Structures are given as C-alpha cells and as structure tokens.
Amino acid sequence: MSVTLPTPAEPLKIGTRGSPLALAQAYETRARLMAGFDLPQAAFEIVVVTTTGDKVQDRPLKELGGKGLFTREIEDMMLAGDIDIAVHSMKDMPVAQPAGLMLDCYLPREDVRDAFVSPGVARLDDLAPGQVVGTSSLRRRAQLLHRRPDLKVVEFRGNVQTRLRKLSEQVADCTFLAMAGLNRLGMADVARSAIDPEQMLPAVAQGAIGIERRVDDARAQAMLELIHHQTTGLRLAAERAFLATLDGSCETPIAGLAVIEGDQLWLRGEILRPDGSESLSDEGRAPIAEGAALGKAVAERLLARAPAGFFDWRS
Ligand SMILES: NCc1[nH]cc(CCC(=O)O)c1CC(=O)O
C-alpha cells in the first residue's frame, strides 16, 4: 500500500507514561505505524511523560481527585506541540477530550477479562471467608463485596510490578489485574485464572488502547486513520456513551462491555454501590453503527432503576 503523508520533516513524537505497560503500548503503536507506512524507527520519537498520578503513590486515587489525573499533563504537552500523539489505556480516559484534541484511533482490543492473581489461591471461588483482597479499583472492590461480603478489601495502588511485590510481601492474599495488561507485558503466567465477564463484568474500555491527536494535525490524522481498528471503535462507542450518560469515570463502580454478534452490538452494563451492598445490571442490542444510542439507552434504564442516593458515594 502506498500512502502519501504530509511531509514528515520531523519525527512523529509519541507521548506516553513511563510504566512498563504504557511503554509496551507505545512500542506497539510505533510498530503498527512503522509497518503501515514502511517507515524506519527513526521516524518516531517516544517521549516519556511523568504525570501527577504517577508521582503520588501514597494516596488512594479517588482522594487525589479529578478526572484525567494520568492524562492531563500529556494532553497539555500535545496542545503545546511538544508531542504529536499520545497513547492511552482507554480504561483510564475521561469520556470527553479537551478542546483541540481528539481520540478516534483504537488498536485491536486485547483480552477484556480481569485476571485473578494470587500466590496461594487458584481461583476467585476458592477464596476462604476473611481472606484479604488488594485492589484500588472501586469497581472491582464493589463487585467483589457484592458477591462475597465476607472478604476483606485493602487499598492496593501502583503499577503491575508494585502490586505483585505487595502480594509477595503478603499485604493481601490476592489481587486483580487486567488480562490485557499482563498479555501486553508478556506476563500472562502471572494470572492464576481469567475471570469470566459473567462473574465480574470488566471496566468500560478495558483492554483497548486509544491514540489521541490534535484536531488540526493532518499528518497525525492520516497516520492514525490507517492503523485504526474498526470493530474496537464500534464497541468502545457503545461503552463510552454508556459511561458518559452515567457521568462516570474510572473512579466510579461502573462496569460495561459491548461485544459484536453478527451485525449487532450487545452491551451489558452494571452500576454498584461502593460497599457492594447493591448492584444493578441492564443490557441491550442494536445495529453495530448505533453504539452511542445503545450505550445511552442502557445507561438511562439503569439511572431510572437506581434508588435515590445510589450515586452519593463521594459525599
Ligand atoms: N487503571 C490502571 C490500568 N489501566 C489499564 C490497565 C490494564 C490494561 C487495560 O485494561 O487496557 C490498568 C491496570 C489493571 O487494571 O490491571
């Protein structure tokens, strides 16, 4: 294939966070761009950005507050022209982008499931009453306590490597990680088992990489159009519309997963109280091109069913 790009006088600067997973995702993006345009590695420059979310490790994420804790500084650099594109875990991305930026390029989605990780226990169902689960995810915490109010949950922050170290220090009996992250790190063997979405519905956009750019950057637009993965985009349109309608973010106990079945999208969504005392689920189907309307409809049904005060966990 021959694609003419606006003159790439300068290397395309790819912004990323510095964790091993973030770097793996940036390398995957670079590899797809190199292959797609038959470009050498020198046509790209990977720029590592340390964000506030990366620097502050000793407080729960929800206390640090603010959507986009891991992305704002990267976006500011892109708006300033210091980087051209930014590679993100879509699970961590707010539903709307700042003025001047857009996010419409997705790489093929990885395994969407959560992994059960434990040195001593093989499966989620094998946990004994009173055992300790480490997680910083409000969703995983609420889903787990909903099914197993007998378990104890402790705060577990940090990247994949940090969490594994805490497990080896016996801070908790088990933890959960996204299968996608483990697979992308070549660490699938860390998962004792993968948890079926029926048992634990994943976070919206789990396993998907998105690439953000400036709205008016014709070179980046041409490059990203070629590597965009269509069906991942259709699934995320449904899931992110669902999240947007609930006004949720990665800081809320919300789960959502869309899959493609023939010419239809099937979306399932779940909202929970943070203590797990209540869980509401809903689902729907629509033609694949109508994901945004589907996500909105499923979210609106959940909102109509949610008792007063269901979302008041921040007060
Ligand atoms: N919130 C952190 C985060 N953001 C994306 C991933 C994993 C990769 C993915 O879901 O795409 C993780 C870690 C985890 O949940 O294990």
Nearest CA to ligand 1 atom 11: 207
Nearest CA to ligand 1 atom 1: 92
CATH of the domain at 271: 3.30.160.40
Say yes or no to pLDDT of 64 above 90. Answer: no
Confidence of residue 314 (pLDDT cuts 50, 70, 90): very low
Taking the CA of residue 112 as reference, the ligand 1 atom at the shortest distance is: 10
Tell me whether residue 203 is in a domain: no
Do 77 and 50 sit in the same domain of this protein?
yes
Give ligand 1 pocket residues (Cβ under 6 A): 89, 91-92, 177-178, 180-181, 206-207, 250
How open is the CA angle 38-40-45, to the nearest 5 degrees?
A: 125
Do 223 and 275 sit in the same domain of this protein?
no
Confidence of residue 310 (pLDDT cuts 50, 70, 90): confident
Do 130 and 249 sit in the same domain of this protein?
no
Residue scoring higher pLDDT (200 or 312): 200
Do 118 and 163 sit in the same domain of this protein?
yes
- Tell me the ipTM for this assembly: 0.94
CATH of the domain at 188: 3.40.190.10
Do 279 and 264 sit in the same domain of this protein?
yes
Tell me whether residue 53 is in a domain: yes
For ligand 1, the distance from its centroid to the CA atom of residue 233, given in whole angstroms, is 18
Q: Give whole-number Cα distances, 268 to 258, 279, 280, 283, 298, in Å.
A: 6, 13, 11, 4, 8
Tell me whether residue 272 is in a domain: yes
Q: What is the pLDDT at residue 123?
A: 96
Structural domain count of the chain:
3
In the 8-state DSSP scheme, what is residue 59? S
Do 272 and 145 sit in the same domain of this protein?
no
Do 212 and 103 sit in the same domain of this protein?
yes
- Per DSSP, the three-state class of 206 is coil
The residues near 197 (Cβ < 8 Å, ≥ 6 apart) are 112, 113, 257, 268
How open is the CA angle 137-91-189, to the nearest 5 degrees?
A: 70
Taking the CA of residue 208 as reference, the ligand 1 atom at the shortest distance is: 11
The DSSP bridge pattern shows strands 174-178 and 132-134 to be parallel
Tell me whether residue 43 is in a domain: yes
For ligand 1, the distance from its centroid to the CA atom of residue 9, given in whole angstroms, is 34
Do 214 and 187 sit in the same domain of this protein?
no
Residue 50, domain extent: 12-107+208-228
Question: First vs last Cα of the chain: how many Å apart?
Answer: 55
The residues near 297 (Cβ < 8 Å, ≥ 6 apart) are 284, 286
Tell me whether residue 89 is in a domain: yes
Do 103 and 125 sit in the same domain of this protein?
no
Q: Which amino acids are annotated catalytic? A: 92
The rounded distance, in Å, linking the Cα atoms of 11 and 44 is 5
What is the share, in percent, of the chain residues with pLDDT greater than 90?
81
For ligand 1, the distance from its centroid to the CA atom of residue 38, given in whole angstroms, is 30
Q: What is the pLDDT at residue 50?
A: 87
Which helix (H) or strand (E) covers residue 264, if one does? strand 264-272
Q: What is the pLDDT at residue 315?
A: 39
Tell me whether residue 149 is in a domain: yes
- H helices present in 5-64, as ranges: 20-37, 52-55, 61-64
How open is the CA angle 18-19-25, to the nearest 5 degrees?
A: 85
Nearest CA to ligand 1 atom 7: 181
Do 136 and 175 sit in the same domain of this protein?
yes
Tell me whether residue 235 is in a domain: no
Tell me whether residue 200 is in a domain: no
Do 186 and 215 sit in the same domain of this protein?
no
Taking the CA of residue 176 as reference, the ligand 1 atom at the shortest distance is: 16
Give the domain-ending residue among 140, 173, 195: 195
Ligand 1 pocket test: which of 17, 54, 89, 155 has the largest number of ligand atoms within 8 Å of its C-beta?
89
Do 139 and 261 sit in the same domain of this protein?
no
The residues near 305 (Cβ < 8 Å, ≥ 6 apart) are 280, 282
Nearest CA to ligand 1 atom 5: 89
